[in-house]
Amino acid sequence: MLWSATDSFGRVFDTLRELEGIRRSLRRFDVPSTVEFPAMNVWVSDDNAVVTTEIPGIDPSALEISVIKDSLTLRGSRQTEELKEGESYHRRERWHGQFTKTLELPFDVESRKGEARFSKGVLYISLPRAEAEKPRKISVKSE
């Protein structure tokens, strides 16, 4: 092999990885991990929600973002390099395929006022909170 990743644990690490694999395969018997591709972070303020997700290498025009009330759905796909004759993978760790992910936001949002930006492989979706859902200040009247 031309290549080897240099990790500090060498073979010990490989063994650990195998053990990790066994542990993972046993995990199907308990509650599965809730994280689906792509991993998302949600930031909220009183009148806005920002959803960020790391999807490097994706063509942003092929992304589909849909919002209904408090649920956000993201659809897209990432293809790997097409291999030609005589080419081969030494390592293949990057995620590929199609994905659909639906996320429950903490409040209803105005889908029409949403904005999305894709920068350096990170998608930012900004969604203003629905007017009816905004926290209201109650003024206290003195008698």
Task: Please report, as ranges, the residues that interact with another protein according to CB under 8 A.
Answer: 2-9, 13, 21, 24-25, 27-28, 32-33, 35-45, 48, 50, 54-58, 60, 80-81, 83-84, 86-95, 103, 106, 118-122, 124, 126
Contact 109, 49 (CB under 8 A): yes
| Smallest distance from another protein to CB 15, Å | 14
Assign 43 to helix, strand or coil: strand
- Closer residue to another protein, CB minimum distance, 104 or 143: 104
Assign 46 to helix, strand or coil: coil
Assign 108 to helix, strand or coil: coil
Which phi and psi angles does 120 have, rounded to 5°? 50, 35
- Closer residue to another protein, CB minimum distance, 69 or 121: 121
- Closer residue to another protein, CB minimum distance, 56 or 66: 56
